Amino acid sequence: MAVLVVEDEAGITAFLRRGLESAGFAVLSECGGRAGALAALREDVELVVLDLGLPDLPGEQVLARIRAARPSLPVIVLTAKDAVADRVANLEAGADDYVVKPFSFTELLARVRARLRQPAQPSSVVLSAGGLTLDVRTRRVRVHEVPEGSEDDDGRSREVALSSREFALLETLLRHPGQVLSQVQLLDRVWGYDFDGASNVVETCVRHVRRKVGAERIETVRGAGYRLVA
């Protein structure tokens, strides 16, 4: 399995390659957006480090292509833009994490490891509640038009594509059906140390998941948080 670095500055690419290989990762690299988007389709690529300032195809468009082809592939964005609005825009576009240049390799490595970290033995492989089914191993989500198991259930369902972050959010809610989870709890379980409580990334991610699975399935409890309607 490999980390794909899409970066047009040779010095940064070499710096990342040395560090990631020293940490035990296989590294692939591309200096152009089009080539990077194609390389991300390789089955052995398990994470992408993506620079936004690419010469032939903007990084935002590369991100969109990756998300369309591999919705669950983790993507960490590298950029010189450090405004909150820029961070939110890229997270809304499907980035899983955001690192501002210049950056510490130690921090980037921690973020790479965090994105790739998986439970050794999931407490449940398939989670079902509220008309949703989520398979932890295959990372597939199905929405049942009629709640599964009800008298009117005729098997109608559709599969939806979620980004890595959206998948993690929905998985967390499905593991606690009917339970109110605060924004702080969701930040801790889905985003780790990356954002503080003042960020609106939870609200943004919930909005995106609602669009895909149905707004009525995730309830906002004013002043408390969110819960999956079981």
Q: What domains lie within the chain, and their CATH numbers?
A: 2-116 (3.40.50.2300), 126-228 (1.10.10.10)
Global pTM reads 0.57
In this predicted structure, what is the pLDDT of residue 96?
85
Q: Are 99 and 77 in contact (CB under 8 A)?
A: yes
pLDDT tens for the chain, 230 residues: list them: 799 999 999 999 999 999 999 999 999 999 999 999 999 999 889 999 999 889 888 888 999 889 888 888 899 999 887 777 777 777 777 788 888 888 889 989 988 988 887 544 444 578 999 899 998 877 889 999 765 455 545 567 899 998 888 998 999 999 888 899 988 888 877 876 555 555 688 899 999 999 999 999 999 999 889 999 97
Using CA atoms, how far residue 55 sits from 12, 34, 122, in Å, is 15, 10, 41
The tokens describing 54, both together, are 């690419």
Cβ burial of 174 (10 Å; 0-12, 13-18, 19+) is buried
- If you search the block for the tokens 């998948």, which residue do you land on? 167
Q: How far apart are CA 170 and CA 176, in angstroms?
A: 10
d(CA 197, CA 220): 17
